[in-house]
Amino acid sequence: MSHIVIVGAGECGARAAFALREKGFEGEITLIGAEPHLPYERPPLSKSGLAGAEPPKYVAGPERYEEAGITLLTGASVEAIDRPRKAVQLADGRTIDYDRLLLATGARPRVLQGVPDNAERIRMLRTHADALAIRGALAPGRKLAIIGGGFIGLELAATARKLGAEVVLIEGLPRVLCRGVPEEIAAVVAERHRQEGVEIVCDARIAALEAGDNGARILFADGASRLADLIIVGIGAVPNTELAEAAGLLVENGIAVDETLRTSDPDIYAAGDCCSFPLSHYGGRRVRLEAWRNAQEQGTLAAANLLGVAEPVASVPWFWSDQYELTLQIAGLADGAATTVRRDLTDGAFILFHLDGEGRLVAASGIGPGNAVARDIRLAEMLIAAGSRPDPTALSSPETKLKKLLAA
Amino acid sequence: MSSNWVEVCAADDIDEEDVIRFDHEGRTFAVYRSPDDEYFATDGLCTHEHIHLADGLVMDDIIECPKHNGRFNYKTGQAKGAPVCVNLKTYPVKVEAGSVFIAIS
């Protein structure tokens, strides 16, 4: 094998490129990204990266690509995969042959129907350029309306408040963080936002958005309306599967891969936000994760498997969110839980452990100031991975160290 | 290079296979006790995004950052892969009369 091509120069693609070298691959590596920047970390975009209007936080400096012998093509769009020829075609006419291909094409924001194209007063957040545009519109007294009470919307709300903007957050469901976050934790988050002056409107039915030179307006189904200087739509993401679909690869809520991240073409792998994969800890159910650590881990795993290792995905889903001084962390998938056990920590921090009908720990969700819950959530992740059935009383008692349960 | 031995805490204040935070003259350190009762010290902030390592998990010679899971060997300071690539500085440690001291250079 002499040439591995990676399409998508985000966290996942960049991590895969470096991991190939770390695992001893000596052939050619080409990493292709549509944005003009070096690969950068996206989590800061809704947090410190937005607040500070700083340059992107790069995954690695330019010298490291050179040292590793990685050909990085930025500002380059891949238009098609020619599977019979084993080549990718770029928008500028270039054709790049591959022996093996990794698709790390990521995801893009879900579009709200009826939103006018290119309206400067209505934005979404995915890229550094998006963050700069939003940052430029935020200042004390500016009115910001955020549509979507998920992590992006809430993190943006917290950052916007720090910058002094007035914020209304509009959610179509009965509460914020409806997907994958327990109600007790979502309630803490919502209350903290209200303390900071964020207005949260749930069960909202939006009829239309309008944008003009001086502002943007949300029109609700009940006839009410809201005027803002800027509207940000953050209603989830959809995987970038068009290249894979056009190439005839199997797609099922993302580019469908097996447990080794291999697509329906044995020479093409997919990893990160763009792919759905079977999760062994949850009976092999197919999931797609939009999470920073997943992108990293799958990039590294894909690199090994591109080189023939054939190692399965073994990690437990994990993600975090920072809002004000609070950090929320979740390990595992709680939707199959039968019972929940609460452990209270100091400073108002707490963790919910979710057990299935057989007493197996399937998820843990925690929230608290700073990193109050981090260590226990990390240990819970290991307990989940080990298929543990911990004693609920031990879980509920902060006196019981989870590390001891892991060793049991 | 001259070193100043600084008292951190009583040796028993650090649990086995655990870490504490120690701040001294504007600097922050992480001080570790291994399962076999050896003590180690490193800079206290992760080299990725300056998160306090003492909030992280110690296991098998590794300190893992609580925020982004950057890993270091706490005995050598060596970064163990993405997202961290810069090693931690380590400091000599001694235990005398039941107290832990680190040498801050």
Q: Residue A222 carries which side chain, given as an amino acid letter?
A: D
Those residues with Cβ within 8 angstroms of residue A403's Cβ, 6 or more apart along the chain or in another chain: A379, B17, B59
Assigned fold of B4-104:
Rieske Iron-sulfur Protein (2.102.10)
Question: What is the C-alpha to C-alpha distance for residues A339 and A352, in angstroms, rounded to an integer?
Answer: 10
- ipTM reported for the complex surpasses 0.95: no
Kindly tell me if the per-residue pLDDT of A7 is higher than 70: yes
- Across the range B49-57, mean pLDDT stands at 92
Separation of first and last alpha carbons in chain A = 45
Question: What is the C-alpha to C-alpha distance for residues A395 and A344, in angstroms, rounded to an integer?
Answer: 10
Residues of chain B with Cβ-Cβ distance to A405 below 8 Å are: none
- Across the range A311-326, mean pLDDT stands at 94
Contact A224, A217 (CB under 8 A): no
Residues of chain A with Cβ-Cβ distance to B55 below 8 Å are: 370-372, 374-375
The 10 Å CB-count burial string (b at 16+, else e) for B63-98 is: bbbbbbbbbbbbeebebebbbbeebbebbebeeeee
Domain boundaries, chain B: 4-104
Mutation site for B-interface testing, chosen from A59, A375, A402, A405 by largest number of B Cβ within 10 Å: A375
Residues of chain A with Cβ-Cβ distance to B59 below 8 Å are: 403
CA A380 to chain centre: 21
pLDDT of residue B68: 85
Residues of chain A with Cβ-Cβ distance to B52 below 8 Å are: 370-371
Band the pLDDT of B2: cuts 50, 70, 90: low
| Residue A189, helix vs strand vs coil | helix
Superfamily of domain A3-107+237-306: FAD/NAD(P)-binding domain (3.50.50.60)
Q: Give me the numbers of helices (H) and strands (E) for chain B, helices first please.
A: 0, 10
| Residue A245, helix vs strand vs coil | helix
Q: What average pLDDT is seen over chain A? A: 95
B51 touches chain A (CB under 8 A): yes
Please answer yes or no on whether A18 and B82 come within 8 Å at the CB atom: yes
Burial status of residue A275 (CB atoms within 10 A of its CB: 0-12, 13-18, 19 or more): buried
Question: What is the C-alpha to C-alpha distance for residues B42 and B77, in angstroms, rounded to an integer?
Answer: 7
Question: What is the C-alpha to C-alpha distance for residues A270 and A6, in angstroms, rounded to an integer?
Answer: 9
Q: Residue A48 carries which side chain, given as an amino acid letter?
A: S
A18 touches chain B (CB under 8 A): yes
Burial status of residue B38 (CB atoms within 10 A of its CB: 0-12, 13-18, 19 or more): exposed
Read off the pTM. Answer: 0.92
**DSSP-assigned letter for residue A259:** T
Mutation site for B-interface testing, chosen from A20, A327, A346, A378 by largest number of B Cβ within 10 Å: A378
Superfamily of domain A325-407: FAD/NAD-linked reductase, C-terminal dimerisation domain (3.30.390.30)
Residue of B67, B82, B85 with shortest CB distance to A374: B67
The residue among A52 and A282 whose pLDDT is bigger is: A282
Residues of chain A with Cβ-Cβ distance to B17 below 8 Å are: 403
Contact A261, A281 (CB under 8 A): no
Band the pLDDT of A49: cuts 50, 70, 90: confident
pLDDT of residue A53: 60
Angle, to 10 degrees, between the axis of helix A11-22 and the axis of helix A292-306?
40
For residue range A286-307, list pLDDT tens digits in order. Answer: 999 999 999 999 999 999 999 9
Contact A200, A189 (CB under 8 A): no
Determine whether domain A111-233 maps to CATH 3.40.50.300: no
Mutation site for A-interface testing, chosen from B15, B17, B69, B84 by largest number of A Cβ within 10 Å: B69
Lowest mean pLDDT segment, chosen from A48-57, A232-241, B24-33, B53-62: A48-57
Please answer yes or no on whether B66 and A378 come within 8 Å at the CB atom: yes
- Closest to A14 (Cα-Cα) out of A44, A45, A39: A39
| Identical fold, A3-107+237-306 and A111-233 | yes
pLDDT of residue A72: 98
